[in-house]
Structure 1
């Protein structure tokens, strides 16, 4: 991870924070963001990079900016992986719930590369104690993240891969806010824990229905409404919970 520390957004201080591209940071009260700004580090991530591994002490909370997407992944002894949750511009990874330094349970893996904002957990805890609204925002986000994890468990157990893939493409479209998604069939196969040939077949089915088109190193959303028809109810349930608990936090791409 390439790091570069500066305060504010593009060196402009609090007025520029609306350009950060992270919904939680943008929702913090101005005095709290001003207090955090000197401690914020900005860094670029690479696809496949691990921000922390199971057992690591988590020292910073990472806030994906703009198109960056990070996944909580559970590595298994046989080499396979299970994805538990996906976090984009609506959230944060590391130190969101617990107080102080705690060991990580899952791997935080970068799915779509881009910038992140890193905040020392100690400074974040100071902000929570100093400003009840900050504590409330992070507590509500933790509830939403837990809901996403629980829904993912049910989705993986009960729903066909085509519906799960459509759901993930919709979520990624929301976070990137553009129709071209830098996703390969190989990366999707790894994420869902299936053979690449199986993932290729699913992608072909989605393409035949007019939902997506494929190009080298990317998938393009051609008909979002078709993806919504194919997707299981899990996409809508998580979105609705976000809207009830933290209205306006979860982004939505234009059809």
Structure 2
């Protein structure tokens, strides 16, 4: 069913488009719902569609090694999109796209996005600027994983997830968080206990609650703040107000 070309979609990137530019995409946007843990794009597969998370749905770009270990390289919420980026042509997916928090999304044939970008310089510019922000997140995550302690990396990940949902309660299990950070579950459990003892978070069954965001921001490494400030500068109101 086509979406309303004027009303909000729940995806900040789409909602930042002018009405005429959104009308270029609206007839071809398909409403879909995915559950937590689903893989919507396998690494190595042809990228035929782009997916826009809506509201508080969250996706993760995940790389898997030969021995089966995984690590998250980027988090994508209602401020972005997953799949083919504008201008990159027909390339296979390097990373898998996994649903981190299930919910509604909008799906679009990648060829239709390219066609719309050819018709509108403003639309093309917005999606290219988003691609630049996604690359910034990937680069900063690589630096963070190489240089910073697991405690700081864990807090960065929690802040990044909190940016994309409402409230302080993050619906994430130890198992998922350990997989995203590329560490053993038992090791992560000890780290979470230490962060809880510091009064930064509270750990519950299937959830982690951020108790003091300013303190978490102060304790985490600079990576979360650096990416957020860059995205705010490049995308402006699409990314939201800063801390």
User: Which category of TM-score, normalised to the shorter sequence, fits these structures?
Assistant: over 0.9
Partner residue of 2:223 out of 231, 234, 238: 234
Cα distance in 1, alignment partners of residues 161 and 199 from structure 2 = 18
Per-residue deviation, 1:112: 1.3
Pair 1:178-2:167 in alignment: yes
Cα distance in 2, alignment partners of residues 220 and 83 from structure 1 = 21
How does 1:86-165 map onto structure 2 within 5 Å?
86-165=75-154
Pair 1:75-2:70 in alignment: no
CA gap 1:173/1:252 in 2 versus in 1, 3 angstroms: farther
Aligned 8 A contact 1:71 1:108 in 2 = yes
- Equivalent residues, number: 243
Pair 1:7-2:30 in alignment: no
Unaligned runs of 5+ in 1: 1-5
Aligned 8 A contact 1:7 1:37 in 2 = yes
- In structure 1, what is the equivalent of residue 10 of structure 2? 21
Q: Secondary structure at the residue paired with 1:63? A: strand
Per-residue deviation, 1:163: 0.6
Aligned 8 A contact 2:86 2:114 in 1 = no
Q: Secondary structure at the residue paired with 2:122? A: helix
Give the TM-score taking structure 2 as reference length: 0.95
Q: Secondary structure at the residue paired with 1:119? A: strand
CA RMSD of aligned residues (A): 1.5
Pair 1:250-2:243 in alignment: no
Pair 1:166-2:161 in alignment: no
Q: Deviations over 1:90-119 (max 9, x none)?
A: 110111134543211111111111111101
- In structure 2, what is the equivalent of residue 216 of structure 1? 205
Pair 1:205-2:191 in alignment: no
Give the TM-score taking structure 1 as reference length: 0.91
Q: Deviations over 1:123-177 (max 9, x none)?
A: 1111101110000001111111111100011000010111111111111111002
